[in-house]
Amino acid sequence: MGGGARELAGYLAALGGWAAALAAAVLPQWRQSSYAGDAIITAVGLHEGLWMSCAAQSTGQVQCRLRDSLLSLDAYIQTSRALMVISLLLGFFGIIVSVVGMKCTKVGDEDPVTKSRIAVAGGVLFILSGLCTLAAVSLYATQVTYEFFKTSKVPINARYEFGSALFIGWGAASLMLLGGSLLCCSCPAKDRRGQQYYRQSQPSTAREYV
């Protein structure tokens, strides 16, 4: 795969991962009611996310409400919120920087060495964004797992398990890490050495003919 094609593939993968991370951040299905156990004790399915909680009735009606107070939230929810916001901001800047640095674009400096360095910077931003998303989703999943298996009087079919947003977040983090890694493969050192060698070889060739 050529350098330009590799950069384009990395950019598209990272862009798709960022869009998936945005969807995961706003979805309320970070955890949902568990249907494990012998019997279902309620006809209402509960879903909770970072920003809102929803109740889905058996008739198909869904009611959602935003979380009232930030300070009353558990520490792991506040941390996951902060990590997702940081992830989306880093990914947004990574999108802009990568567009300037890719070889297939005519934006910014035309020097290939400079564009390669900018592309690498965009890749680093995407990798950091993916790591933040991975940390947020994994932290939330760890808390859900702990509350599900801890000794409690709450019936197992009244507890919470992983929601679909967690799996979307893991997929988003994987795409951003993959895309950022491909963008970081744009190494400017080889281009710089090639340009210096070409410039140094030109005068000596001219003198030989004289």
What pLDDT, on a 0 to 100 scale, did the predictor assign at position 194?
46
Confidence class for position 209, pLDDT limits 50, 70, 90: very low
Lowest mean pLDDT among 45-59, 103-117, 161-175: 103-117
Q: Please name the amino acid found at residue 150.
A: K
Which residue, chain included where needed, has tokens 């249907």?
A: 35
Residues facing 53 on adjacent strands: 48, 65
What pLDDT, on a 0 to 100 scale, did the predictor assign at position 201?
47
Q: Which token pair is 18?
A: 């960022």
Its pTM stands at 0.80
What pLDDT, on a 0 to 100 scale, did the predictor assign at position 187?
63
For 14, 64, 168, 189, 205, the CA distances from 179, given in Å and listed in that order, are: 4, 35, 16, 21, 42
Lowest mean pLDDT among 94-103, 111-120, 161-170: 111-120
* Integer Cα distance of 95 and 89 in angstroms: 10
Q: Kindly tell me if the per-residue pLDDT of 16 is higher than 90.
A: yes
Lowest mean pLDDT among 64-68, 104-108, 134-138, 202-206: 202-206
Among left, alpha and beta (phi > 0; psi -120 to 50; other), residue 192 is: alpha
When pLDDT is averaged across residues 170-181 and rounded to a whole number, the result is 95
Q: Kindly tell me if the per-residue pLDDT of 190 is higher than 90.
A: no
- On average, the pLDDT of the chain sits at 80
Q: How many CB atoms lie within 10 A of CB 117?
A: 19
Greater confidence, 18 or 41?
18
Instruction: Name, of 112-116, 123-127, 150-154, 182-186, the range with top average pLDDT.
Output: 123-127
